[in-house]
Amino acid sequence: MTEPAKVATVSLEGKTASLPVHSGTLGPDVLDIRKITADLGVFTFDPGYGETASCTSKITFIDGEKGVLLHRGYPIAQLAEQATFTEVAYLLLNGELPTTAQHDDFVATLNSHTLLHEQIRNFFNGFRRDAHPMAILCGTVGALSAFYHDAIDISNEASRNLSAVRLIAKLPTIAAWAYKYTQGEAFVYPRNDQTYAENFLSMMFAHPSEPYQVNPILARAMDRILILHADHEQNASTSTVRMAGSTGANPFACVAAGIAALWGPAHGGANEAVLKMLAKIGSKDNIPEFIAQVKDKNSGVRLMGFGHRVYKNFDPRAKIMQATCHEVLGELGIKDDPLLDLAVELEKIAISDEYFVKRSLYPNVDFYSGIILKAMGIPTSMFTVLFALARTTGWISQWKEMIEEPGQRISRPRQLYTGSPERDFVPFAKRG
C-alpha cells in the first residue's frame, strides 16, 4: 500500500483520530480506519461491507456507475471478444497476458492435471442420484486435499502455483462428472487435444459408445461465458475464499467454501432464477400483465436478470453475452422453444420501456447466460456449477494474492452487540 497523500481528522467526544487516506490506481479513495478503535474507542458499522474495502488487490476493478469491468487493466469486452479463457486465466494468475510460448506452456501444464485420481470416482457413488450437482461439486473439491496433499504448503510458492493449476484443470472434470452422475451416464474422460471449453462440452455431452464433435459456435459461447464469469472483484464468494484462506486453510478447502457461498440463490443462482421467471410468465400474451406487476411496488413481483447490484449502468458483460446469445440461437435454429421465444420478447419490451430505461434496469449477464445454457441443453441445476467452474480461476487468483500479501492477517470482523447485558445465572427452582 502506498503512503497516504492526505489525512482525515475525526473527532468524537473530545477524542481525535488522524486517519490516513489511501488512493488506488482507480476508484474512490479509502479511509484507513485501523487505528480508530485505539484513538476513539469505537468500531465502524457496515452490514454487508458495502462501503468497506477489505483488502488491496491488483486483479479486478469495477466502476458500477460507468459500467466498467477491468481484469488487470484490460476491459472485459476486449478480453471476451479477442482472448480465450486460458489466456484470461493466465492473466488473472500472473498479472500479464501470456506470450505464445507462455500460453503453450500454461495449457500444457493444465492438460497434465485434467485427470482425477481414480479413487475420486468412488466419491460420486456416495451421493444419491438425485443429489444437486452443486452438492457433489462442493464435497468433491473439498476432498481434493486428501488426494493432492503433496502441494498444500501455502508458504511455498511452487506449492501454491501447483494447487492453483490443479484446481483450474480439474474443475471441468468434476463438474462434468457431477452432471453425468445425476443422469446415470458413463463418465467421459478429458481430452487434452481440445480447448478448455471444448473439453468441458465433450465431457458433458459425449458418450463412450460414439464419437462426439463439438460445435465451434457453442464452444466459443462457452469460452465467453467462462471469461465473463472468471472474476468479479470482492463479491460474496470471493470474500468467503479470502476469509477462509486468511486462517491458513488449504486452497482446496478455500475454493470449496467459495462454492458453498456461490450456491446461495442471492449470489450464483440468478440465471436459474431467470428461467423460473420465464416459466412463471408462461407465454408472450402474459408479458404485459407481468410488466405491470413489476411496476407495482406492492405486488412483490421482481424482474429477474435485469439490473445489477454493482452496475448502475449497463452491465458491460451483457453486451457480449447478448450477441453470443443470438449467435447460439441462430446456430441451433431454435425457433419453436416457447421459453426462449418468451425471453427474446421480454428483452425487446424491457429495453424499450421508459420505466426500465429510466431506472437502468437493462438485461444483465445472467439474463442472457441462462438463455444460452438452456439452448445448449444444459439443465438449470448445472447453471451454478458452470458459474463455479469459471469463477474458480478468480477465486484461486485472489487467494494467491492474499497469501502473498505482506502483513496478511486472519479475518476477524467486529459486531454491534444488541443482546442482554451481563446477568447472573438463575437455578431451575427460582425460574418459576
Question: What DSSP designation does 284 have?
Answer: G
Catalytic residue (choose from 308, 326, 336, 337):
308
Residue length of the chain: 432
CA–CA gap between residue 274 and residue 204 (Å, rounded): 23
**Residue 104 CB burial class (10 angstroms; 0-12, 13-18, ≥19):** exposed
Q: Tally Cβ neighbours within 10 Å of residue 413.
A: 10
Find cell 500500500 and name the residue: 1
Annotation marks residue 366 as catalytic: yes
Q: Are strands 68-71 and 60-63 parallel, antiparallel or unpaired?
A: antiparallel
Q: Tally Cβ neighbours within 10 Å of residue 227.
A: 26
CA–CA gap between residue 337 and residue 343 (Å, rounded): 10
Which residues on adjacent β-strands are paired with residue 12? 15
Distances 174 to 102, 135, 287, 312, 320 between C-alpha atoms, Å: 26, 12, 39, 36, 28
Three cell numbers written together for 430: 427460582
List of residues 6+ apart from 56 with CB closer than 8 A? 1, 24, 405
**Residue 182 CB burial class (10 angstroms; 0-12, 13-18, ≥19):** buried
CA–CA gap between residue 102 and residue 88 (Å, rounded): 13
Q: Tally Cβ neighbours within 10 Å of residue 64.
A: 15
Distances 78 to 68, 82, 84, 88, 217 between C-alpha atoms, Å: 12, 6, 11, 11, 18
Q: By the 8 A CB rule, do 219 and 195 touch? A: yes
Q: Tell me which residues are annotated as active site.
A: 308, 366
